[in-house]
Amino acid sequence: MFRSNNLTARIFERQILTPRPGTSINLFRHFYENVCPSHTVHDIDCPDLSFRKFTDDGQFLIGFSRNHQDLVVYRPSWLNYSCKGECPYSLDLPPKARRFDSFFRHLFTISLASANEFICKDFFLYVDPYRFGLFATSTAQVNDNAASADGAIHGVPSIEKITFHLVRLDDGVVLDEKAFYNDFVNLAHSTGAFLYDDLLCIVSLRYQTIHILQIRESGNLVEVRRIGPYCQEDDELFLQSHAQVSPGSSFLPGIKQRLLSFIFRKTWNEEADQSMRVQHLKKKFYFHFQDYVDLIIWKAQFLDRHHLLIKFGSVDGGVSRNTDQGLSFFAVYNMETTEVVTFYQNSSEEMYSFFERFYDFFNSVSRNTLHAQYISSHKNNSHALNQLLNIKSKSGSFSQFVKKMMLTIPYTCQSHSPSPYFDLSLFRYDDKLISAIDRHRHSTEHPIKFISLRQPNVVKFKIKPGAEGGGPDGGRAKKVSSFLFHPYLPLVLSIQQTYMQPTVVNLHFKR
């Protein structure tokens, strides 16, 4: 802990201080209390792109063209200028500071989508060790409710072609592509895919399959496994050579069989009395059998290299993003042994206790990625834990509270910004106005304040998303703003979109 809040004193102290073991990074992150984005350039003159995010290692800024067909990548750098003679601090910044390319260097623009395809601008995953980016293009969505013969289920729309592109971000070379035809993957905010180290899992909702792909260093996307109709690699071969059944008949999909057998064994063992077992089974299992069979996979994530956490639910809840707290189930599936390890309902208190005690393990990343380990959550931060416990005590019904909390798992990969300005042990900020999760928010006229935790009366910096004078219409129109924080530089882009008006981009940085 630094003894003083002054930057110079802290630098001197750093020369002699030995932090406690394993906490050196936590201690030196306190320097971000002194280095804040204090200056704003309003309405910077930037190209008309929709900026997506900074990559988690801070090397690239990803943007898409307005027609959703091109990918534009910039490298963030910093303004530098010189002045003659003495440079007083109060000197105004040169006009160079108002230019976008003083801060960002254009690397390349490539076209990812062909004529009738569009880049899904919500989807982006960064493969950290190799500096690859994963993007998705898709054709238009067709709400085709008829189940086709090849195993697609009812109720899920279909997209003619979804392509995942693996692009090397250093130079813009498209390394590999993987296409899915007449399928549906939930691309919004990268919910349908999860990246763990070099393993990628893509949930195909229409065919109820989880595709496990490996990203090789050479840039190839290699399909490792396909879980859904079949669990082991040779299941399909075995069934076709032995079973005299026509496809699409009475065999349930492989993963469903594993799930049902687990539920059966669990229900069987719940009743101690042997004579009552069959009765218990009828009540608990066979009565709901068809409901269990009708469950579909909504979302999946990796818990480690061999285990998946799969969320099951009813057909109508899988596609829509409604926050209806209906019934859903979680299953932990081991890919190597093809066993279902556990199965819980979303209102289960046991599952909630895991959520409260081990939340950081749901945000699973391998130990190699350093920046993701400093994302604040209620598990690693006492202030966040207090907030959670407050909500818990204020909520009327515990099971409603549990269901609401369970909406956040399975975790969406790379959805939290690793910027230290969101670190709850350093700053306090209004969660409704701005947070680490990159979603659009309704913008307010008031600036968003970041208050230092140690000095509760001191506002360290403010971000005012609007234009300088409040906008030409006086701020009456509804505005949506989004914020892009650089992972380690004091550099923030705030993008404000107003209906029927040009987008305003502000740049906040430290002078």
Partner 1 sequence: MATRPQIAAEKKKKIEITNKTRHPYQTNNATKLSHKVREIEIEREREMGSLLGDWPSFDPHNFSQLRPADPTAQPSKLTPVTYHPTHNRTIPPPNQVITTESKNILLRQFYQKSEEQLRPKTKRAASESLMPEHSCKQPRGLNSDA
Q: Compare residues 279 and 400 and give the one whose CB is closer to partner 1.
A: 279
Q: Compare residues 83 and 272 and give the one whose CB is closer to partner 1.
A: 272
User: If binding is defined by CB under 8 A, does position 350 make contact with partner 1?
Assistant: yes
- Token pair 């009812």 is at which residue? 154
Residue from 97, 341, 451, 453 touching partner 1 (CB under 8 A): that is 341
**Residue 388 region by backbone torsions, left for phi larger than 0, else alpha for psi between -120 and 50, else beta:** alpha
User: If binding is defined by CB under 8 A, does position 287 make contact with partner 1?
Assistant: no
> What's the order of all strands across the beta sheet hosting 328-334?
296-302, 307-313, 328-334, 339-345
In the complex, minimum distance from the CB of residue 197 to partner 1, in angstroms, rounded to a whole number? 14
User: If binding is defined by CB under 8 A, does position 307 make contact with partner 1?
Assistant: yes
Residue from 362, 404, 428, 453 touching partner 1 (CB under 8 A): that is 362
User: If binding is defined by CB under 8 A, does position 356 make contact with partner 1?
Assistant: no
Evaluate the CA torsion angle 96, 98, 99, 105 in order and state its sign: positive
Q: Where are the alpha helices (DSSP H) in 157-234?
A: none
What does the longest C-alpha to C-alpha distance in the chain come to?
96
Instruction: Report the candidate in 219, 220, 147, 214 with the shortest Cα–Cα distance to residue 184.
Output: 147
Q: Compare residues 354 and 488 and give the one whose CB is closer to partner 1.
A: 354
User: If binding is defined by CB under 8 A, does position 271 make contact with partner 1?
Assistant: yes
Q: Compare residues 38 and 261 and give the one whose CB is closer to partner 1.
A: 261
What is the four-CA torsion angle of 127, 129, 132, 135, rounded to 10 degrees? 0
Residue from 96, 154, 265, 511 touching partner 1 (CB under 8 A): that is 265
User: If binding is defined by CB under 8 A, does position 291 make contact with partner 1?
Assistant: no
Our CA angle for 77, 172, 486, nearest 5°, is 30
Stretch that binds partner 1, among 101-109, 246-254, 285-293, 359-367 (CB under 8 A): 359-367
User: If binding is defined by CB under 8 A, does position 380 make contact with partner 1?
Assistant: no
- Token pair 């106005």 is at which residue? 433
SS3 label, residue 421: helix
Residue from 108, 251, 285, 354 touching partner 1 (CB under 8 A): that is 354
Stretch that binds partner 1, among 29-37, 80-88, 361-369, 478-486 (CB under 8 A): 361-369
Beta carbons within 8 Å of 493's beta carbon, 6+ residues apart: 51, 61, 483, 484, 505, 506, 507, 508
Q: Compare residues 277 and 441 and give the one whose CB is closer to partner 1.
A: 277
Residue from 272, 323, 368, 457 touching partner 1 (CB under 8 A): that is 272
User: If binding is defined by CB under 8 A, does position 264 make contact with partner 1?
Assistant: no
Asked if 362 and 409 touch (Cβ cutoff 8 Å), the reply is yes
Q: Compare residues 171 and 270 and give the one whose CB is closer to partner 1.
A: 270
Residue from 131, 266, 454, 510 touching partner 1 (CB under 8 A): that is 266
User: If binding is defined by CB under 8 A, does position 349 make contact with partner 1?
Assistant: no
User: If binding is defined by CB under 8 A, does position 358 make contact with partner 1?
Assistant: yes
Residue from 36, 112, 213, 303 touching partner 1 (CB under 8 A): that is 303
Query: What Cα–Cα distance (Å) separates residue 96 from each residue in 36, 41, 80, 93, 466?
Result: 21, 11, 9, 8, 22
Asked if 190 and 123 touch (Cβ cutoff 8 Å), the reply is yes
Token pair for 324: 């209806």
In the complex, minimum distance from the CB of residue 411 to partner 1, in angstroms, rounded to a whole number? 12
Distance separating alpha carbons of residues 447 and 431, to the nearest angstrom: 14
User: If binding is defined by CB under 8 A, does position 332 make contact with partner 1?
Assistant: yes
* Binding footprint of partner 1 on the chain (CB under 8 A): 265-266, 268-273, 303-304, 307, 332, 341-342, 350, 354, 358, 361-362, 364
